[in-house]
Structure 1
């Protein structure tokens, strides 16, 4: 099988889980014997482009002529089975879908955000969830509010791009939705359900979980949409030390908030930006990982890393978080839902004591809990999560093994390609 993987890499100065996952998928596919032809551009190339190329940048999200020429040559020479598209902006353009179809090559796209509708891609503006552009022929609110790169001109270009390529996106042969929330987003956009497959990302298996630590870990960009201020508000509603330690890792514009909290309370520790070894150590030192997103977060990788290490997750009931912790199983394969996980765990572990009382608004999943993005609700959930961590440790690891392990995800990935090659 021969696959073209098309992706516009985000700037290296801007940490990107999407870049990491594309690289990881290419490695997994290659190791499985798939011939991968990378068709990669990088936004880091823009400053060094010649003036003639820079002159075309304003139209490149709509139509990137150089990219189409290069892709046409690649498709003609190698005749791949499938083109797999990730991010097309700004140097590839969604036009690559049309170019692939002109050459008779089916297209798969992994949907990493909401940019079919939202210029910023995250449905979040001025500290709150915003879906003002849903259902509009032209995303005028995004222009008014300068949602793309804080520029009215660039926002107007992106709004035009989304309007021009509405038909392009609807012609994609198969969409990979990372969670059920993305599947619902695509269905709402008008994509038939039979062309959507839910396939999450995978993370490497860290091995058998270590015994639970104590307290909580929050690992994310320290930006408003990730909910750091929500978490700190909830944490302050408990006496110092009553919940163990809150460890916070990451960096960003809200760093002063966590530094102030750490100076104020002995049970808040700021770890700064961590490397892979540091992340592993922080996860192992904790009992529960928190994902306090204030936006419809698509797929916070830290949740999958937590489950792989047998750490349950307390998250907000937004975006893909309920799916990840097993609180939304409508789109999952048979044998991976709550009943299956509970049965499997019961088969090799003694029956646990009953779970602690669950406060109003908190929903339990197979591998954690979700709660409305409200300080009082999160505060009420914190002691429940701490008390129930041991109960959900084994189910958290089992959910990883059944749903997010590289072997499982790769099998589903290859099946998506195979369904399109059989159809052709």
Structure 2
């Protein structure tokens, strides 16, 4: 089987989990015997472009002529069975779907965010969840609020792109929804069930886990939507040292907030940005991993890393987090969040136990109440966390699912 993997890489100066996942997925597919033809562009190419190429950048999200020419040549030369698209912006454009279809190549797209509808892709603005552009033909609110790169002009371009390419997206042969929440988003957008497959990302197996450590670990981008303010407010509702250590690792605009918290309390430690060995050590030292996002986080890779290390997760009941910990329930209309299961007797109101962790409403009081029972229950839930990784997020499982998606679409042998 021959597959074109198309992805516009995000700038390396802004570390992207999506870039990492695409790289890992290409490696996993090749190891499984799939012939992968990478069709990659990088936003880091933009500064070195010629003046003529830069002059075309404003229209690139709608139609990137050079990318279409190059893709058409690649398809003509190699005759792939499937094109698998990840991020098309800004140098590929969703037009690659039309280019592939013109040559008779079916298209799979992995949906990593909400950019079919939302210009920023996050459903998050000014510190709160925002879905003002849902259901609109043109995302005027995105323009008014400068949702794309804090620019009205660029927001207008992106809103126009989303309007122009609504038929393009609806022509995609199969969507890979990373979680059940993303599947809900696609249904709300008008994609029929038979063209949606729920398939999460995978990460390499780090090996058998060690016994749980102590305390809690927050690992990720230090930005408002990741819920650091929520976490620290909840943490301060407990006496210093009552919950064991809170380790915070990562970097970003809220780094001063974390450094101030570490200076204020002896039970908060700021680890800074970590390499892979540092991440592994931090996971092993902790008992529970925190995923306190205040937006509909699609698929926080840190949760899969936690499960692979045999660490249960305490998270907010938003986006893909309930799915990842096995606590997702039947949902209300897309975007309104999960309908909670009845709380387990003895747990705080609103705290739901899943296969591999717990979820709570994104509220400081709810999170504060959930911290002690999570600490107490970590060791008991650790084996189930590792088992959920092995059954749902292991590369052997996930890569087979993806190859099955390709096989369901690929043309008969030539």
Normalising TM by the smaller chain, what interval?
over 0.9
Q: Which residue is 1:410 aligned to? A: 399
Cα pair 1:222 1:254 within 8 Å, conserved: yes
TM-score (norm 2): 0.95
Matched, 1:224 2:221: no
Deviation at 1:356? 8.0
Deviation at 1:421? 1.5
Alignment of 1:236-251 (within 5 A): 236-251=236-251
Q: Which residue is 2:85 aligned to? A: 85
Q: Would the alpha carbon gap of residues 36 and 253 (structure 1) be closer, same or farther in structure 2, given more than 3 Å must change?
A: same
**Which contiguous aligned blocks of 4+ residues in structure 1 show a shift greater than 4 angstroms?**
none
Cα pair 1:180 1:330 within 8 Å, conserved: no
Counterpart Cα distance in 2 of 1:67 and 1:204: 31
Counterpart Cα distance in 1 of 2:50 and 2:251: 34
Cα pair 2:187 2:193 within 8 Å, conserved: yes
User: Helix, strand or coil: the match of 1:238?
Assistant: coil
Q: Which residue is 2:268 aligned to? A: 268
Cα pair 2:230 2:362 within 8 Å, conserved: yes
Deviation at 1:423? 7.7
RMSD: 1.2
Matched, 1:167 2:156: no
Counterpart Cα distance in 1 of 2:209 and 2:135: 46
Cα pair 1:214 1:287 within 8 Å, conserved: yes
Matched, 1:398 2:387: yes
Q: Which residue is 1:376 aligned to? A: 365
Cα pair 2:355 2:388 within 8 Å, conserved: yes
Matched, 1:32 2:21: no
Cα pair 2:216 2:286 within 8 Å, conserved: yes
Cα pair 1:247 1:270 within 8 Å, conserved: yes
Cα pair 1:356 1:384 within 8 Å, conserved: no
Alignment of 1:3-402 (within 5 A): 3-328=3-328, 357-402=346-391
Counterpart Cα distance in 2 of 1:89 and 1:393: 39
Structure 2 unmatched runs, 5+: 332-343
Cα pair 2:297 2:319 within 8 Å, conserved: yes
Cα pair 2:81 2:411 within 8 Å, conserved: no
User: Helix, strand or coil: the match of 1:93?
Assistant: coil
Structure 1 unmatched runs, 5+: 332-354
Counterpart Cα distance in 2 of 1:329 and 1:283: 28
Cα pair 2:138 2:163 within 8 Å, conserved: yes
Cα pair 1:124 1:295 within 8 Å, conserved: yes
Counterpart Cα distance in 1 of 2:183 and 2:229: 29
User: Helix, strand or coil: the match of 1:248?
Assistant: strand
Cα pair 2:174 2:195 within 8 Å, conserved: yes
Please list the CA deviations of residues 68-122 of structure 1 after superposition, one character each: whole Å capped at 9, or x if unmatched: 1111111111110000000000000000000000000000000000000000000
